[in-house]
Amino acid sequence: STSIDCHGVHQAGILVPAHQPCAIITAFDITGTTKGDLQKLLRIITDRIEFLSKGGRYPDAHPQLPPAGSGIIGMNVPPDELTVTVSLGSSVFDERFGLASLKPKHLQPMMRFPNDMLRAEYCHGDMTLQFCANNHETNMHALRDIMKAVTGLAVVRWSIDGFLPKGEPGAAPRNLLGFKDGSANPKPKQADDFLWTGMAPNSQDEPAWTKGGSYQAVRLIRNLVEFWDRTPLKEQEMIFGRDKAHGAPLGMKSEYDEPDYSKDVDGKKIPMDAHMRLANPRTKETQKSLMLRRPYNYSLGLQKSGQLDVGLIFICYQANLQDGFIDVQKRLDGEPLEEYIKPFGGGFFFTLPGFKKGEFVGQSLLI
């Protein structure tokens, strides 16, 4: 299987050519107490990412010692297009590590939005690792490898598994409400304008070490699918502003057609409160809220009530968290879609800049 090089100006897992179909998002609490501990942690993680994403053989185990790898994908580890993306929460910039003056300007604990029903056991964390690969067992193997390697320095706070349907070729994969999700994502070649901290025009006032990183907003959003499946098609389409079969903006033909709201000022084609229209009104003033969405679907089985416990792991990246996720979510507050969704977890994190061979992830922050 093929490998994605983990080295570069940016971490490899944000702008992958094609979304890997499987993910695990794991939030950790850092139990180390000094800046040296934090450095040690990030060095170990770098070392493990370099091994796991390239693939290779574990050393033979001594019968009296635990084997090096979990063994679930064999002792010869295939790369399987694994990416592991490392991000830090605002709590890392408290007094513990002496890094307060270096905190990314917009990094803060995730606030509660009006429709949220947050569960403490699924919120925040000092660090997230986002594992993406072509197979679930690759992610599970990588998570267990890293958990073992960071013993004494970090513990898991919460974790959730994500999946994506194969998707029609050239089309965005569908979410669990049955709509294509990701169609209007900005193109990778625009990335320098909105995605990378310290590089985008709205991100020039950040600590120098952040350059090439990105803010990561994670939201765990339950979908009330039984209720949704009893909602008329027309209403579903009005809620998003797109047709369900093809994903085209209402009144248009193709998924990638660009709506022109200046010709639809009263919302006759695409309702004024449609999800896509509120999220991106396509005005000059809202241009700065562009973000890259990389969501996954999740299933936690069944709720006690007998309803499916399924939904979206919403993940987005942007150069400026305020202009991106926070402003967009504020515009979405009160949207008709809220009747069918319940955010219950997540957090705000800063995805560290990329690293070269011989460097470690987070080096510009710590050295």
Position 177 contacts ligand HEM (CB under 6 A): yes
Per-residue DSSP letters for 185-247? PPPGGGHHHHTSTTTSGGG-SS-GGGTT-EEEEEEEEEE-HHHHTTS-HHHHHHHHTB-TTT-
> Could you tell me if 215 and 199 are in contact, meaning their C-beta atoms sit under 8 angstroms apart?
no
Q: How far is the CB of 152 from ligand HEM (least distance, A)?
A: 36
Q: How far is the CB of 255 from ligand HEM (least distance, A)?
A: 8
Of the candidates 183, 197, 202, 203, which one interacts with ligand HEM according to CB under 6 A? 183
Position 14 contacts ligand HEM (CB under 6 A): no
Work out whether the CA dihedral 341, 345, 349, 352 comes out positive or negative. negative
Query: Which helix (H) or strand (E) covers residue 101, if one does?
Result: none
Q: How far is the CB of 177 from ligand HEM (least distance, A)?
A: 5
Binding mask 308-327 for ligand HEM (x = CB under 6 A): ----x-x----------x--
Binding mask 262-301 for ligand HEM (x = CB under 6 A): -------------xx--xx----------x----------
Position 220 contacts ligand HEM (CB under 6 A): no
Of the candidates 87, 329, 363, 364, which one interacts with ligand HEM according to CB under 6 A? 329
* Nearest Cα to Cα of residue 119 among 110, 127, 128: 110
- Rule CB under 6 A: which of 333-352 touch ligand HEM? 341
Position 173 contacts ligand HEM (CB under 6 A): no
Q: How many CA atoms lie within 13 A of 191 on its CB side?
A: 14
| 314 vs 350 by CB, closer to ligand HEM | 314
Q: What share of the chain is helix, strand, coil (3-state, %, to 5)?
A: 30, 25, 50
> Could you tell me if 26 and 128 are in contact, meaning their C-beta atoms sit under 8 angstroms apart?
yes
- Side chain identity at residue 62, one-letter code: H
**Could you list the residues that contact ligand HEM (CB under 6 A)?**
172, 175, 177, 179-184, 219, 221, 223, 240, 242, 275-276, 279-280, 291, 312, 314, 325, 328-329, 332, 341
